[in-house]
Amino acid sequence: MTLNLSVLTPNRIVWDSEVEEIVLSTNSGQIGILPNHAPIATAVDIGILRIRLNAQWLTMALMGGFARIGNNEITVLVNDAEKGSDIDPQEAQQTLEIAEANVKKAEGRRQKIEANLALRRARTRVEAINPIS
């Protein structure tokens, strides 16, 4: 039994092929998905998507959205997605540092929430480069 994964963003299709297993970060924690999983509709958090393909793990940084799992088809709709191998490590590290500085500077509720979100996005991108497996 095969499992099909497609990761879509508004601007392009990031992934559309068969996989063996994925680990998805949802709002209520990570879930692993193997073939013949029960149908699920879930919100996807800002976090890492791990994909097992030919006994190797790939990572992808997801920026929040939705996933639908059913009938061995996984559809992940996200605001933005980047493959770990496509992210420039230096640039991601710099963005993280800027985001950390912004969190400290942020004042007011709205700014704080926005700065925190930016920090989480930056952290996810850095994590996607060096996956802790």
- Taking the least distance from each CB to another protein, the nearer of 9 and 93 is 9
What is the β-pairing status of strands 40-53 and 56-70?
A: antiparallel
Question: Rounded to the nearest whole angstrom, what is the least distance from the CB of residue 76 to another protein in the complex?
Answer: 9
- Taking the least distance from each CB to another protein, the nearer of 16 and 97 is 16
Sole residue written with tokens 């985001």: 99
> Do the Cβ atoms of 3 and 72 come closer than 8 Å?
yes
21 closest CA partner among 40, 44, 2: 2
Read off φ and ψ for residue 66, nearest 5 degrees.
-135, 155
> Do the Cβ atoms of 1 and 36 come closer than 8 Å?
yes
Binding-site member from 65, 96, 123, 124 for another protein (CB under 8 A): 65
3 state SS of 12: coil
Binding-site member from 17, 66, 85, 131 for another protein (CB under 8 A): 66
Binding-site member from 28, 36, 54, 133 for another protein (CB under 8 A): 28
Q: Please give the Cα distance from 113 to 117 (Å, whole number).
A: 6
Under the binding rule (CB under 8 A), the answer on residue 32 touching another protein is no
Under the binding rule (CB under 8 A), the answer on residue 26 touching another protein is yes
- Taking the least distance from each CB to another protein, the nearer of 9 and 72 is 9
Q: Which residues of the shown chain bind another protein in the complex (CB under 8 A)?
A: 6, 8-13, 26-28, 31, 38-45, 65-66, 68, 70, 75, 77, 79
